[in-house]
A and B are shown apart, each in its own frame.
Chain A
């Protein structure tokens, strides 16, 4: 039971947050934290647990966003209908990229995913059907509740919270299944894992496909909240980078790492943009860059690892005192 204590307290705080902080800015901020937490948790499956650092996740994010907006713009359907389509396309793309590149070692995978992301962005920017450089818009006036077009951020907040729970649930289930054990073994040493019979390529591919599907859901939700998608907001490489940094800052390969990272970085970005205005965009990313360099240099495990280490040290201290006193130990 004690294991569930902290997660329940945190969950209660998340449920209560929009009631305690009820200005539009605060509610919108909360919704954005949850949205990025979904995307970063999805990235975490392949980037954290499997140790394959994808810098191209924006492709899947964009697939979801374009599918949701496309369903409305081309067929007059609810953007919700686009979600499954986005998932299918994302998973297909991830398989096409994954089969050749997951054979390669880490750096190649990262480079290949960057190239795919840029290629997709260039193709979409030159495709009129997808709105080219202008992008696609969602419903300006909601026809019914299924258009998911709300003025207040509150409905989005609870929608994102429930989807974050689903994402974390899937991640938890995966991490504790056979697949999770395979992935961690592969991350630590692929050669050793293979020699013990772990199907490395297949497991990495499954993780990549699962991660791609979940990321596309995050993209679809993002487009619904903002009501449009264009190549910059849906396929810009900086979105990949943000997702990756949030997961790494919180703690890659830890269940709650991405949530912690999003809860730190999203408010930081929103507040610095608000304070600094147009100039802020540049400075925010300078700050982002500095944070990543510092994590990589001093704390590659992320903030959660640091906290866990401090807690372990504090717990260990009294134990050793007891052990020193207990001379009659068996």
Chain B
């Protein structure tokens, strides 16, 4: 393998880790409440704008921007849960899809109205320049984003599987009435799930903002990436999202390098449709 190809794959893995992080947010809510958040990509977009605002106001990099984005989005997640999701969850399918779709438009165009449609970006050296590791040239911003995203995704998995909070959340996902009889409040657990999911998504947005273009409609593309990742990894599975996210990052980078950057989204969307067609339960999902 040529060294360029290795470089492309490493770049894909680092980007894929960020995909995995924000897709974990989508899969968590989906698996727990069987509700699809069509505004998920716009949560990522909001995280990016928080990072941008933090940089413009304080001149601070993701060291400050990422925690603030996580905090802001976690708050938004709780507000959205109590203001919208809790009520539409019991409603018909149309109301569920419309509700989160309306939220997506509301968020996307509020940002559009405030910041305009211009492509923004953070300065390329916000994290540090580019350096060589084992003969590969890697941008510090991508390395930081990839590594942090990987660690947080693993942390999410541990939180769900190894802590009592995680067990309570899984109990609610399994059977919320039975959980309630055991003294667990489904409402609280679901609100916490929304806070964690949205917070992780905001964090991912702030990380990806260090090297990605920032525009109000970016959530459309990233939202589809999250759908692809979740459908590939299986609904409700954080490890599935991790594997699928890394895989999609690599596939995207390889197709951009081998076929052309214009076609990378087409490859990912086709992959998604192919999966829905042949294996709707995903790579690691249960049938």
A241→B101 contact, CB < 8 A: yes
B103→A283 contact, CB < 8 A: no
Known contacts A112-B273, A300-B94, A300-B95; is-contact A292 B108 (Cβ 8 Å) = no
A118→B265 contact, CB < 8 A: yes
Please, which residues of chain A bring their CB within 8 A of the CB of B231? Answer: 108, 111
Cβ-based interface call for B174 (8 A): no
Q: How far is the CA of A36 from the CA of B36 in the complex (A)?
A: 27
Number of A-B contacts (CB under 8 A): 138
Q: Render B235-247 as a binary contact track against A, CB cut-off 8 A, 1 for contact.
A: 0000000000000
Question: Chain A: how many interface residues by the 8 Å CB criterion?
Answer: 45
Please, which residues of chain A bring their CB within 8 A of the CB of B220? Answer: 118, 237
A-B contact pairs, 8 of them (CB 8 A): A115-B273, A119-B269, A241-B101, A279-B113, A288-B102, A292-B105, A296-B94, A297-B84
Known contacts A122-B269, A123-B266; is-contact A296 B224 (Cβ 8 Å) = no
- B217 to A, closest residue via Cβ: A237
B266→A288 contact, CB < 8 A: no
A107→B98 contact, CB < 8 A: no
In the assembled complex, the CB of A204 is this many whole angstroms from the nearest CB of chain B, namely 13
A108→B276 contact, CB < 8 A: yes
Interface centre among A112, A237, A244, A295 (most CB of B within 10 A): A112
Q: Render B88-114 as a binary contact track against A, CB cut-off 8 A, 1 for contact.
A: 100111111111011111111110110
Cβ-based interface call for B58 (8 A): no
Stretch in A22-30, A47-55, A221-229, A310-318 touching the partner:
A47-55
Cβ-based interface call for A239 (8 A): no
Q: Render A27-66 as a binary contact track against B, CB cut-off 8 A, 1 for contact.
A: 0000000000000000000010001010100000000000
- B266 to A, closest residue via Cβ: A122
Which single member of A107, A112, A283, A293 contacts B97 (CB below 8 Å)?
A: A107
In the assembled complex, the CB of A314 is this many whole angstroms from the nearest CB of chain B, namely 26
- B262 to A, closest residue via Cβ: A126
Q: How far is the CA of A11 from the CA of B105 in the complex (A)?
A: 34
Cβ-based interface call for B175 (8 A): no
Cβ-based interface call for B31 (8 A): no
Apart from A47-B94, A100-B276, list 4 A-B contacts with CB within 8 A: A51-B93, A53-B97, A110-B38, A112-B273
Cβ-based interface call for B277 (8 A): yes
A106→B227 contact, CB < 8 A: no
Q: Render B205-243 as a binary contact track against A, CB cut-off 8 A, 1 for contact.
A: 000000000000000100010011001000000000000
Q: How far is the CA of A282 from the CA of B98 in the complex (A)?
A: 19
B94→A282 contact, CB < 8 A: no
Known contacts A115-B227, A119-B269, A289-B107; is-contact A295 B97 (Cβ 8 Å) = no
B102→A286 contact, CB < 8 A: no
A115→B97 contact, CB < 8 A: no
In the assembled complex, the CB of B116 is this many whole angstroms from the nearest CB of chain A, namely 8
Cβ-based interface call for B67 (8 A): no
In the assembled complex, the CB of B1 is this many whole angstroms from the nearest CB of chain A, namely 29
A297→B276 contact, CB < 8 A: no
